[in-house]
């Protein structure tokens, strides 16, 4: 503690030049800077160093009454343990103006620590002198002047000043509510409603509380002026917009001389101060708002003014799930507060969070707006963050200007955090994300064009094709059957005929049996058997005998028993045919035997 106090003392003892960085500046200012002819004013040069060889040039419009009177002040600040000292040297000249007009006091050369430096030029305005003797104290002079006379609107008025009267839609205008007075004001209604800015976006601007009124010459008269309110207005619609007059309540201090009737002495005037309430009314103001040109680029979102656009990315190499910060900064003059979110398209593998928007105003007209996007890469790889476009309308050059940020290439490596997820395979998989919805592309493959919605299925050709197929089928079937027929031997057909033939003859013989015609019966029966054999064995009747039949049957491996019974039946029939030994009974038996034999043969010769 003791040591630190000692340090402070050492610091205080050091010459100020060693503590402060040196900026050799010589400031000149005139106070007041507006005055009447014959009035005097102070011209003050200020510096934080001692100034030598300061000399005023001689000017024919004014005379130097005195000076310079020197003043020196030093201050030591201790802020959070940090000590700074500053000293101020003031050199004041007293001058009197002799002529009417606007003058510039040229810059003055002087030396600070043996180095030449120049002051800034100072402008002053001088108006014609009034009839009344001018006094340096405004309050007493005005009070005296306004004595008993009614305060009119030339003495005090309020007006709305705009820095531009013809603007583009969205271009900002600085509106200033200023009070002008020649009389002493005792009070101004600070909470007045103010002008009604319908059709504008408004943004109040901080103004210091009204303390000192400035001098200002208006139409050759000196007024004391003060800024009551400053509002930034941005038109929201086009056309002629009129800001309607507004009211302001003020109180004017007026000295009134009251005549008191004194019973003992003469009547005499007692100066008295009275406050007179006054309602001031401003004038209506016209603003012409123009449309923006029609050819606005798609990235235009209403910014009007002149801007700069910067971008920065905190790193270009990262790991998955390790966020990146992309900062986009717009700075400049214009309706910076109304700038919406920028259109940032990040690759689909990045997660984009809503930006953190910071608006910083250097002063009411210009400022900086920054958008900080937090981007979280989800997958490893090399990605490109495309440039972001920012378009604004420049009213000075009447055209849209597009600024592009830088494109960044980002390398994303596989992060540590992913190893946990990788334990369960498949959990890392993602659905393909649809970024935008659009229709699918046209079909470029040439296709067969139909004419007049006519279908092949309607043409006679189509139906004829069925007939054609059927015809081909029938032809093939016919050819096939014919071929089969020609290939198959007649025996086959006889074979099939045999049964029928035999049955027919057997039936006939059965009829003859009933009639008792024994001769015919045996003949028929024999015919049936031989006919059957002839058909079945494919031997013509002419060559058919017991021997030929026996060999043919043997070739078909018909057993001997059956063969014996066959030939026994035929022998019996031959015998009975001529001998006619037995009667009806014998015929019945032979018939039955013949039937059995043929049935048995039928089985064998199948």
**Which residues are at the interface with other proteins (CB under 8 A)?**
437-453, 455-462, 464-478, 480
- Residue 123 CA, chain-centre distance (Å), reads 53
Q: Which strands, in side-by-side order, build the sheet including 34-36? A: 34-36, 122-127, 101-105
Phi-psi region of 241 (alpha: psi -120 to 50; beta: other; left: phi over 0): beta
Q: How far is the CB of 492 from other proteins (least distance, A)?
A: 13
Residue 268 or residue 463: which is nearer to other proteins going by CB?
Answer: 463
Residue 116 or residue 464: which is nearer to other proteins going by CB?
Answer: 464
Q: How far is the CB of 515 from other proteins (least distance, A)?
A: 46
Residue 455 or residue 578: which is nearer to other proteins going by CB?
Answer: 455
User: Could you say which DSSP state residue 292 is in?
Assistant: P
Residue 427 or residue 432: which is nearer to other proteins going by CB?
Answer: 432
Q: How far is the CB of 446 from other proteins (least distance, A)?
A: 7
- Residue 49 CA, chain-centre distance (Å), reads 58
User: Could you say which DSSP state residue 65 is in?
Assistant: E
Q: How far is the CB of 331 from other proteins (least distance, A)?
A: 36
Residue 423 or residue 439: which is nearer to other proteins going by CB?
Answer: 439
Burial class (CB in 10 A: 0-12, 13-18, 19+), 424: exposed
Residue 488 or residue 581: which is nearer to other proteins going by CB?
Answer: 488
Q: How far is the CB of 391 from other proteins (least distance, A)?
A: 22
Q: How far is the CB of 340 from other proteins (least distance, A)?
A: 24
Place of tokens 């014959």: 38
**Exposure string for 459-481, b = 16+ CB within 10 A, e = fewer:** eeeeeeeeeeeeeeeeeeeeeee
Residue 353 or residue 462: which is nearer to other proteins going by CB?
Answer: 462
61 neighbors 101 (Cβ within 8 angstroms): yes
**Of residues 116, 150, 369, the one with CA closest to residue 278:** 150
What distance, in Å, lies between the first and last C-alpha atoms of the chain? 141
Q: How far is the CB of 484 from other proteins (least distance, A)?
A: 9
Residue 273 or residue 468: which is nearer to other proteins going by CB?
Answer: 468
Residues in contact with 176: Cβ distance below 8 Å, sequence separation at least 6, in sequence order: 160, 161, 162, 163, 227, 229, 230, 231
528 neighbors 505 (Cβ within 8 angstroms): yes
Q: How far is the CB of 547 from other proteins (least distance, A)?
A: 35
Q: How far is the CB of 433 from other proteins (least distance, A)?
A: 17
E-strand ranges in 236-355 read: 239-243, 247-260, 268-281, 285-290, 300-313, 317-319, 324-334, 350-352
Say what angle helices 546-555 and 518-537 make with each other, to 10 degrees.
40
Residue 474 or residue 581: which is nearer to other proteins going by CB?
Answer: 474
């Amino acid at each position: 503690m003791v040591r630190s106090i000692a340090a402070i003392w050492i610091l205080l003892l050091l010459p100020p030049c060693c503590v402060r960085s040196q900026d050799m500046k010589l400031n000149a200012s005139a106070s007041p800077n507006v005055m009447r002819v014959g009035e005097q004013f102070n011209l003050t040069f200020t510096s934080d160093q001692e100034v030598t060889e300061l000399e005023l040039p001689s000017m024919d419009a004014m005379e130097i009454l005195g000076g310079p009177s020197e003043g020196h002040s030093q201050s030591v600040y201790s802020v959070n343990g940090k000590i700074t000292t500053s000293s101020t040297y003031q050199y004041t000249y007293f001058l009197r103006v002799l002529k009417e007009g606007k003058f510039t006091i040229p810059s003055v050369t002087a030396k600070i620590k043996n180095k030449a430096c120049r002051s800034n030029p100072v402008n002053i305005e001088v108006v014609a002198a009034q009839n009344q003797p001018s006094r340096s104290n405004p309050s007493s002079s005005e009070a005296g002047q306004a004595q008993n006379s009614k305060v009119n609107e030339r003495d005090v008025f309020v007006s709305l000043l705009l820095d531009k009267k013809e603007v583009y839609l969205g271009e900002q205008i600085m509106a200033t509510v200023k009070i002008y007075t020649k009389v002493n004001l005792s009070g101004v209604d600070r909470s007045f409603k103010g002008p009604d800015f319908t059709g504008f976006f408004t943004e109040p601007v901080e103004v210091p509380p009204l303390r000192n009124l400035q001098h200002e010459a208006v139409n050759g008269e000196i007024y004391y002026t003060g800024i009551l309110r400053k509002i930034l207005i941005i038109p929201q619609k086009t056309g002629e917009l009129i800001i309607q007059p507004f009211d302001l309540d003020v109180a004017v201090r007026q000295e009134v001389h009251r005549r008191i009737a004194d019973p003992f002495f003469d009547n005499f005037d007692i100066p008295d101060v009275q406050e007179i309430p006054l309602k001031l009314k401003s004038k209506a103001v016209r603003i012409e708002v123009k449309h923006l040109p029609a050819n606005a680029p798609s990235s235009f979102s209403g910014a009007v003014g002149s801007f700069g656009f910067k971008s920065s990315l905190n790193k270009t190499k990262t790991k998955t799930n390790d966020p990146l910060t992309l900062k986009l900064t717009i700075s400049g003059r214009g309706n910076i507060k109304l700038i919406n979110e920028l259109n940032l398209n990040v690759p689909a593998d990045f997660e984009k969070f809503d930006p953190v928007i910071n608006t910083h105003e250097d002063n009411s007209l210009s400022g900086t707006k920054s958008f900080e996007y937090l981007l979280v890469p989800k997958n490893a790889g090399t990605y490109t963050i495309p440039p972001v476009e920012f378009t604004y309308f420049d009213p000075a050059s009447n055209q849209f200007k597009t600024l592009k940020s830088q494109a960044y290439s980002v390398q994303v490596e596989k992060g540590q955090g992913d190893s946990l997820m990788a334990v369960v395979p498949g959990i890392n998989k993602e659905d393909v994300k649809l970024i935008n919805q659009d229709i699918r592309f046209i079909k470029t493959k040439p296709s067969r064009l139909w004419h007049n919605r006519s279908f092949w299925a309607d043409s006679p050709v189509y139906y004829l094709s069925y007939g054609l197929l059927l015809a081909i089928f029938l032809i093939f079937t016919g050819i096939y059957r014919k071929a089969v027929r020609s290939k198959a031997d007649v025996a086959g057909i006889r074979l099939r005929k045999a049964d029928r033939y035999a049955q027919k003859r057997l039936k006939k013989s059965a009829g003859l049996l009933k009639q008792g015609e024994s001769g015919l019966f045996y003949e028929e029966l024999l015919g049936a058997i031989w006919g059957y054999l002839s058909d079945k064995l494919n031997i013509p009747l002419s060559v058919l005998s017991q021997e030929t039949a026996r060999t043919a049957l043997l070739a078909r491996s018909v057993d001997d028993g059956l063969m014996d019974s066959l030939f026994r039946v035929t022998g019996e029939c031959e015998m009975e045919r001529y001998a006619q030994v037995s009667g009806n009974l014998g015929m019945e038996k032979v018939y039955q035997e013949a039937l059995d034999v043929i049935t048995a043969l039928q089985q064998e010769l199948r």
